Amino acid sequence: MFEQQETKLEKVYTASGQFQAHVIKGKLESEGIPVLLQYESQIFGLTVDGMGAVRIMVPEPLAERAKEIITRAEP
């Protein structure tokens, strides 16, 4: 039968809001890396002292590659 394999996720970046998180997610997915976004609490879509932060999570085996892609994409 079908056997589901559990893949651990690793945080590769913490974005300062949904917009930045979705830009990074799009970049990683365009490189073939699946992404899960973990949201913190948000007030009016703003980040205040870490509130509204979004964790960028990827499968553990792809974490180093994802970090390299994010680093290259940063201004």
DSSP string of 21-39?
A: HHHHHHHHHHTT---EEEE
Burial (CB < 10 A; 0-12, 13-18, 19+), residue 18, is middle
pLDDT higher at 18 or 25: 25
pLDDT at position 46: 54
pTM for the full predicted model: 0.78
pLDDT digits (tens, 9 = 90+) for 25-66: 999 999 999 999 998 765 555 555 555 789 999 999 999 999
Output the pLDDT for position 18: 87
Residue 74: is its pLDDT beyond 70? yes
Residue 72, both tokens: 């290259």
